Amino acid sequence: MSGYAIALNDVEKNYTSGRRNVQALSGVSLTVKPGEFVAIMGASGSGKSTLLHLCALLDRPTAGRIEIAGRDLGQFSERQCVEFRRHQVGLIFQQFNLIPNLSVLDNVLLPARLAGARSEDKVARAKHLIERLGLLTRADHRPDALSGGEQQRTAIARALIMAPPLLLADEPTGNLDSANSQQFWSLLSDMLGELALTVLVVTHEPAAALEAHRVVVLRDGKVAGEFDVEDSDDAGKLAARYQRLTR
């Protein structure tokens, strides 16, 4: 499975809640190439967040194998897990999860500080990302003085401060209006090539998935199908292809 940024092979994830056993993922196999932008779509409860959490090492599969950049996550020691979460993966969630009493700049620098890497290099990178994301005039502001779109753009900068090769996002525009949402997706897609990023993003929005190279559809914890996003696609066409796979 080498050469892939992400490779899942026959992944299964079961949860036990009370006496009930929930099969959140079953028989999921999926590969993502370096530099690819893949959107994961599917109905509520289809296993999208579970899939993302497993790739971020926030949780472990019940069975199956997950490789990130050719490394088998199942073989990682505790120390390798910490190193992986710090350096290999950036995360963005629907809730922006910013620290309220820190400025934009300090929020962006937080992962570097936690990793003991608050060097001049990192400050320069933070400032570059802040500028790139249109937040230069907001660098000293606290999150409560920012719009939702600005908060989520701060979260992008924070996710990218350690220069991870992989960015994982779970419904990152779920709390944004359509203008901010559109800006988020186009910034992300512009930065993809610049930063040599591989992106896996969960979204409900066909307009957002249009920015991706490929859409993978989950249904009841399984891959229902996938399709490449064509340049000629519009949101309606994409939604129709998605709906065909969820039936």
Ligand X SMILES: Nc1ncnc2c1ncn2[C@@H]1O[C@H](COP(=O)(O)OP(=O)(O)OP(=O)(O)O)[C@@H](O)[C@H]1O
Residue 46 contacts ligand X per CB under 6 A = yes
Helix runs in the chain, H state only: 48-55, 78-87, 104-114, 120-132, 148-160, 178-194, 206-209, 235-246
Rounded Cα gap, residues 238 and 179, in angstroms = 20
| Cβ pair 68, 88 in contact under 8 A | yes
The conformation of residue 233, written as its DSSP 8-state character, comes to -
Residue 17 contacts ligand X per CB under 6 A = yes
Q: Considering only 16-24, 113-121, 207-215, 224-232, which stretch makes contact with ligand X by CB under 6 A?
A: 16-24
Contacting ligand X (CB under 6 A), which of 3, 10, 15, 147?
A: 15
Residue 173 contacts Mg ion per CB under 5 A = no
Residue 49 contacts Mg ion per CB under 5 A = yes
Phi and psi angles of residue 244, each rounded to the nearest 5 degrees, phi first: -60, -35
Burial of 58 (0-12, 13-18, 19+ CB in 10 A): middle
In the complex, minimum distance from the CB of residue 110 to ligand X, in angstroms, rounded to a whole number: 26
In the complex, minimum distance from the CB of residue 231 to ligand X, in angstroms, rounded to a whole number: 28
Nearest residue to 187 (alpha-carbon basis) of 159, 164, 162, 215: 159
Residue 90 contacts ligand X per CB under 6 A = no
Nearest residue to 238 (alpha-carbon basis) of 197, 196, 208, 193: 208
Residue 46 contacts Mg ion per CB under 5 A = no
The conformation of residue 104, written as its DSSP 8-state character, comes to H
Choose from ligand X, Mg ion, none: what does 181 bind? Cβ within 5-8 Å by kind: none
Total number of residues that touch ligand X (CB under 6 A): 12
Q: Considering only 37-45, 125-133, 157-165, 223-231, which stretch makes contact with ligand X by CB under 6 A?
A: 37-45
Choose from ligand X, Mg ion, none: what does 124 bind? Cβ within 5-8 Å by kind: none
Contacting ligand X (CB under 6 A), which of 18, 19, 21, 44?
A: 44
Applying CB under 5 A, the residues found at the interface with Mg ion are 49
Applying CB under 6 A, the residues found at the interface with ligand X are 15, 17, 22, 24, 42, 44-50
